[in-house]
Amino acid sequence: MEETTATIEQSFCDLGASNEALSKATKAVAVEQRRATKAAASGDLKTLRTVAEKLRIARQNLDYTGEALLDSVQACEETVDRLRSDYLEEVMQHIVSAGGEARPHEGQLLCYPSIVCINVGTGRVTIDRRTWKSIRPSSLAAELLKRQQRPVKFKSEAFLEALYNVYRRIVKHDEHTLTRGVLVPLFDIYELMTALPGMQRDYQRIDFARDLYRLEESGTATTRKGMRMRLVPGSTGAKNRSRRLTFIASGGREITYYGIRFGDPT
């Protein structure tokens, strides 16, 4: 006999089938219970005896399907635990098969504009740092596909001003230096923007890279003071890859950033 490879999605399908069987058993008990009540009220002993026997069998089936549902829940939990490391891959397969776009990146799943993470230890799934309660792959994939169809909400002007303010701190407020457009590594910008304890956990490098991509896509590049921004790609920047910022954009394109310049547009 050919062995069927278990998946998290298949485990949830089996769980759904067990729940459907329990639902039918519950309805059968309710039907016979109503018939027994009617027969008792009318004094129909013959019907009552027949219904009582059917009710006994229906309740036995209800107990059986209830136990089967508990077994299915346990089996599903065991499958999730066993295949947790492959979870994002399974979600990605559902997205791609539905015509969407998704790419794995450093233990995360990038489905622009969303970033999906799973804590292998706890099984906690997050979308853009917010917990997603349903861990069923098809359910998560459907949600990510919906988000791909929505307009991206991003305050590009505010983010640009935040970058410029940190940039000015690094170049020591020297207006002459500012107008020359000195190159500052974006990694240094990120380090200052997330200097408070816990901030790098809540706003990771991939989030920063995504915001840089959103800013670039928005076309917003001039600050309120009239300083023009230019992002420098990673291919012309640091030799140390750890100081580069990478994001997988729509269409599966890999975007790499290294530095940033602000200068007088003239």
101 vs 119: CA distance, rounded Å: 22
Spatial strand order of the sheet with 114-118 comes to: 103-105, 108-111, 114-118, 125-127, 130-131
For residue 179, the model assigns a pLDDT of 56
Give the relative orientation of helices 205-218 and 156-170 as an angle to the nearest 10 degrees: 120
Q: What is the CA angle 101-106-111, rounded to 5?
A: 20
CA 87 to chain CA centroid, Å, is: 11
For residue 120, the model assigns a pLDDT of 61
Please give the chain's pLDDT, 266 residues, in tens.
Answer: 333 356 888 888 888 888 898 899 899 899 988 988 988 888 888 888 898 898 889 889 889 888 888 888 888 777 777 656 688 888 888 998 888 888 888 888 888 888 988 876 666 788 988 888 888 889 999 999 998 888 888 999 999 999 999 998 888 755 555 556 788 999 999 999 998 888 888 888 999 999 999 999 999 999 998 889 999 887 655 566 678 898 888 777 888 999 999 987 65
Q: Which helix (H) or strand (E) holds 151?
A: none
How far the first Cα of the chain sits from its last, in Å, is 75
Read off φ and ψ for residue 234, nearest 5 degrees: -65, -25
**Domain boundaries along the sequence of the chain:** 8-84, 86-149, 156-263
For residue 263, the model assigns a pLDDT of 83
β-bridge mates for residue 117, sequence order: 126
For residue 196, the model assigns a pLDDT of 84
